[in-house]
A and B are shown apart, each in its own frame.
Chain A
Amino acid sequence: MILTVMQISCRRLLHNRVELLLTFIVPIAFFSIFAVIFGGGLGRGTTPRIKVVTVDEVDSVVSRLIMSALKEQESLRFVREEESSQLSRSEAQELVRNGTATMAIVLCKEADQLAAQLLADASDQVASQVVSAVVNRSIMLSEAEYQVSQLGVSDASESGDQQNIAATNEGNDPDAEMLGIEESLSRKVEIVDVMGEGKANPVVSMYASGIAVMFLLFGATGGGGALLEERENQTLDRLLSTQMSMDQLLLGKWFYMTAVGVLQVGVMFLWAQLVFNVDLVGHLDGFLMMTVVTALAASGFGLFLATLCKTRGQLNGLSVILILTMSALGGSMVPRYLMSDQLQQYGLWTFNAWALDGYTKVFWRELPVDALAPQLAVLLFSGVAFLLAARTLAVRWESD
């Protein structure tokens, strides 16, 4: 009996292509995405290149050597390279705040010693560590190079100097020297967070938006599934035999799904405000704008998928695959700064990436609403495009 149940279940699985896909292909695809992200991105290198700008307030031989050394680092990508020599500290900080650069490397003087301040965006927790190490190394090597070059310049008194150096070194305690170097390093590189100051739980809002977008998509495809159910039980036929047109039906569904999506995200962020101290009220205008267009885009996508599929089962399978993939690539599950440049580019084909960028601008960077123009435009365009595609596909439901 038990064996028979197992056999029947197995046969049913083999006859159900959607279920086979979900059981065996989707996990592989998902694992592959994460493997690419963490185990070696597509394109150049295994670590994403960090966007930086530089400011040289010292303008000495050593500082210029340090700058040259930094520019040779593969892990750094210099933005506004042609302007960097003219950038001021405040301008560099602004570039970090508005997301143009992840970090600003400012070479300055502290107590007559050359030091570096890293003006950082604390949301990228990897960048601070990587750049700090790179800058440290560059400073050490550049200073050493300078010292060597100085030794080479004074050739005439080389022997005397060498004896002096030897005598100096003989009298030095090696441990004290190491301690001195360490102290020197610790003074040289300072990380300054220019983003998270004054914010309570700044990173929570970013993760809230990532999860919110993913569930907007799931909700939208659920709404689209209701349309398919109506078609299957001939309620759709009945509706189309009344005075209602397919245009009106789809628009009604679109607006309804958008309204539910806005409410869904609103409740989620309200919870974030109450429990995790996310400042929703202080960013209401940007939040509402981003939420409405993201919900419009997700709803259009949901309707498009529903009109593409023939059955609810097909829709469920397809939507799970697509939404999970989009969420992984778009940053809903893993921050995009962990991905290679190429994967980040691919992510721009997803709603998630644009929506997350928008919410980041609102809650993290606290930019004015006009800075949201690219995100709003892309999401709104996507929503309308998908709705039109759904309308085109729904023609076959109107009259076969």
Chain B
Amino acid sequence: MNYLRSTPALAIHDLRKSYGDLHALRGVTFCLERGERLAFLGPNGAGKTTLIRCLAGLTRADHGEIHLGGKPLKSVEARKHLGFVPQEIALYRDLSTRQNMLAFGRFYGLRRSELRNRLDWALQWTGLGERADDLVGTFSGGMQRRVNLACGVMHAPQILLLDEPTVGVDPQSRQRIFTMLDELSESGTSILLTTHHLDEAEERSDRIVILDQGQVVADGSIEALVKQSVGTQRWVRLRIDRPLTAPLRVGAAADAALIGTTGEDRISTRIDDVSTHLPGLIELVRRRGYGIADVQVEAPSLHHVFLHLTGYELRD
């Protein structure tokens, strides 16, 4: 299938879906470029799973358009290039790794040599070649997740949808899964995944879309999101040599602000320009008679962005 250079891999426009009085999606619009890794972030009930299901063709949206490579989602041609990995381990636990991969390969329309080749690739990619003939039900959670992932990409899709791909797995297995996804991304597959893990979204995606109550509240790279929300401010934490006897006054009399808390040996504050204002802060603390034991400068993270945009923590 030929993609036009300017045609995004996935284009969603004004997607809406309601279940009675519950509005799961309220006009979601975004694009996924070819080869891009996009992370969908949002609390429970934000609409992430509904969105994924709409894209996978499992839920019919009430309104809006979805195009895969410029073609409507409903067309058979478009759907050939879509892979879907659900949140649950959607495998036949009483079949082996090989049998599961072969089955889903056939369901995706692969046959004969193409199927065999993809099977060999999938076994090597997942690192489960030696467990090819073992029943999937005997695997650990991490291994099952790898097979789960492989069964969604047997047909080498252009776009891969993943719903919480690393839920319930140990850090080592998570790392392995993301290494596998990196390989896919490098080969040109566009990846859209939903996640609760901020670090996953920050480290493993080119772009982040934050969903809250069925609406997109932010869309961009982590740097862009930080800049447009919390800006260039940095958190600075100073540990002093003894507890404060009183909060410290910072700034001119008219604009003076108080930092620190009486009785505590830590001072936390945000400053706009570290190179300019940090030395002044340190000098101020010293002039008040306190020694500086430690200085920490923390860049704003997705956590701060999310908190700033939605007003609450991202709950697991």
Residues of A within 8 A of B (CB): 233-235, 237-244, 398-400
Contact = CB atoms under 8 A, between A and B. Distances in A.
A243 B76 contact: yes
B108 A238 contact: no
24 contacts: A234-B90, A235-B90, A235-B91, A237-B53, A237-B84, A237-B90, A238-B84, A238-B90, A238-B104, A239-B107, A240-B57, A241-B56, A241-B79, A242-B104, A242-B108, A242-B109, A243-B76, A243-B80, A243-B107, A243-B108, A244-B107, A399-B59, A399-B60, A400-B59
Interface size class of B (residues with CB under 8 A): 20 to 34
Contacts of A238: 84, 86, 90, 104, 151-152
B58 A399 contact: yes
Nearest to B84: A241
B92 interface: yes
Contact of B109 (A237, A243, A399): A243
B89 interface: yes
B147 to A, nearest CB: 12
Nearest to A240: B58
A321 B185 CA distance: 53
A71 B59 CA distance: 68
Interface string B86-103: 111111100000000000
A233 B79 CA distance: 22
Contacts of B46: none
B60 A233 contact: no
B86 A237 contact: yes
Nearest to A399: B60
Residue among B57, B88, B90 with most chain A CB within 10 A: B90
* Top 4 closest pairs, chain A to chain B, by CB: A242-B107, A234-B88, A241-B84, A399-B60
Interface in B48-74: 53, 56-60
A233 B151 CA distance: 15
A318 to B, nearest CB: 25
B141 to A, nearest CB: 14
Given A233-B88, A237-B56, 20 more contacts: A233-B89, A234-B86, A234-B88, A235-B91, A235-B92, A237-B53, A237-B86, A237-B90, A238-B90, A239-B107, A240-B57, A240-B58, A242-B104, A243-B76, A243-B79, A243-B109, A244-B107, A399-B57, A399-B59, A399-B60
Nearest to B76: A243
B82 interface: yes
Nearest to B58: A237
Nearest to A237: B58
Contacts of B90: 233-235, 237-238
Contacts of A400: 58-60
A400 B57 CA distance: 10
Nearest to A233: B88
A400 B60 CA distance: 6
A242 B57 CA distance: 10
A400 B84 CA distance: 17
A25 B87 CA distance: 39
A400 B91 CA distance: 22
Contacts of B109: 242-243
Contacts of B151: 238
B82 A241 contact: yes
Contacts of A243: 76, 79-80, 107-109
B158 to A, nearest CB: 14
A399 B74 CA distance: 12
Nearest to A238: B90
Contacts of A398: 58
B25 to A, nearest CB: 13
A234 B76 contact: no
Contacts of B57: 240-241, 399
Interface string B17-28: 000000000000
A398 B74 CA distance: 13
A30 B87 CA distance: 43
A236 B188 CA distance: 28
A186 B79 CA distance: 83
A235 B80 CA distance: 18
Interface string B137-157: 000000000000001100000
A242 B79 CA distance: 8
Nearest to A235: B90
Contacts of A237: 53, 56, 58, 84, 86, 90
Given A243-B76, A399-B57, A400-B59, A234 B87 contact: yes
